[in-house]
Amino acid sequence: MAKYNLYMNGETRIHITGGNAKIGKGVFNISLLPSDEPLTKKDGTVLTNLKGTCGGCCDGCKNNCYAVKQAVYHHNSVIKAWGENTLLARENMDEFFHQLDIFFNENIVSVFRWHVGGEFFSKEYMRAVYEFCARHEDVKFYTYTKRFSWLEELDEYKPSNLVVNVSQWHNNYSNPLNYPTFEYDDGTIEEVANLPHCPAVDKDGHETGITCAKCRRCFTAKNGNRIAVYAH
């Protein structure tokens, strides 16, 4: 039996946060469950009955995923929220975006990040995110993804107010459309080590206190821009 068993019902709702210590205040964001399987603590405790949304793109990075670490470490506060978001998006996508529309219409949102945890889990969902961003053209949206083939298939639908940063892991994608890249630096690839680095994490993998709200680089990135992040 999982510690948090979540099922769709009439009270299942969307969960949006207004920032955190790493992102900064004022950068609204939403998360889905990360990983490609139910999250589990090191002692074997299964945390949720739901699979994560990263199926098919976790190879190589799962054991070092910051979102998995955060979800496991802060499970008391994030599993229910991220799990309910995942349930809504998977099982009632129209309601998921309806609740998002209500939030955006009732609040002043300048910058919004998709998926602090989690991934685009289907092309249908990815296209729906694009359409949602286009409806809210005055908001700056940004995200990171490893859904490389879907990016190429849906490129013509991506709105101009959404910055999609390709999450590169050991040069695992040729990036033919020249999307901005966010590249993992574990010290093994000299080219990546020489790139400008995300200022939120230092060479020892410690957070510096410089937030996305202060830096702004990832949600103002242009095609061809490259930034690396130290392993953390």
> pLDDT tens-digit profile of 115-169?
999 999 999 999 999 999 999 999 999 999 999 999 999 999 999 999 999 999 8
Dihedral of CA atoms 126, 130, 132, 134 in degrees, nearest 10, equals: 180
Helix and strand numbers, DSSP H then E, in the chain: 7, 6
Taking the C-alpha atoms of residue 108 and residue 232, their distance in angstroms, rounded to an integer, is 32
- Band (pLDDT 50/70/90 cuts) for residue 220 is very high
Report d(CA 48, CA 80) in Å as an integer.
Answer: 9
**What is the reported pTM?**
0.94
**Confidence band of 63 (pLDDT split at 50, 70, 90):** low
pLDDT of 22 > 80? The answer is no
The residues near 230 (Cβ < 8 Å, ≥ 6 apart) are 185, 197, 198, 201, 202, 203, 204, 205
Given a contact cutoff of 8 angstroms between Cβ atoms, the answer to whether 181 and 227 are in contact is yes
